[in-house]
Amino acid sequence: MEKLKESPEPAPQPGNVWLTDLSPSDPHPVVSGYDGTEMPDRLVKQGNPPVVWFYRPGKVVQLLGVGPDAHPLVVVSTGLSSEDRFELWLIRAPGAAQRLSTGPELFAFFGSQSRLSDRNGLWIGSGEGVFLYEPIGGFRRVARVAGRLAGDCR
């Protein structure tokens, strides 16, 4: 396992650059059944130097978005099948994460390209409906209609 930066990390700020990538130390990376590429297993905050905030060897880590509190949310899975176990995590700091939800319904977010953050929370549009993550209220479905998000709620 990679050693994380030891100095305390300040709270995330809007405008941070987040990415997911594959750790070179993952002994068993997940390989895509579609094109054979190795899938990302960690969330990295870009900087000088880049800092690993979340790492799950042998899993797939997908950045879902950033909530209004500027903390990233990720979906973790064991592969790319709807039968896999999916987990939703809130990342608070390097090595400090909280699992918010687990279950097959999170498959709807895997690969979701429709998401945005506003003062209400992080909105996620998918083929299964529209969902909202609020720092206080948590995660919930707000519409059962499939949709793509086009702008914030005012």
Condensed to tens digits (0 to 9), the pLDDT of residues 73-111 reads: 888 888 756 567 788 888 999 999 988 877 666 656 655
Mean pLDDT of 12-19: 71
- 119 is a domain residue: no
Q: How many domains in the chain?
A: 1
Domain for residue 1, yes or no?
Answer: no
Rounded CA gap, 6 and 106, in Å?
Answer: 32
Phi-psi region of 5 (alpha: psi -120 to 50; beta: other; left: phi over 0): beta
Domain membership flag for residue 56: yes
Does the pLDDT value for residue 4 go beyond 70? no
Backbone angles phi, psi at 92, to 5 degrees: -95, -30
Contact call for residues 58 and 10 (beta carbons, < 8 A): no
Q: Is 150 within a domain?
A: no
pLDDT at 5 over 70: no
Query: pTM for the whole thing?
Result: 0.74
Structural domain that includes position 39: 18-111
Q: How confident is the model at residue 9 (pLDDT cuts 50, 70, 90)?
A: very low
pLDDT of residue 1: 40
Long-range CB contacts (within 8 A, 24+) of 83-90:
86/110, 88/64, 88/139, 89/54
Tens digit of each residue's pLDDT (9 = 90 or more) over 116-151 = 778 887 888 777 778 888 877 777 888 888 777 776
- pLDDT digits over 26-74, tens only? 999 998 888 889 999 999 999 889 999 999 999 999 888 887 678 888 8
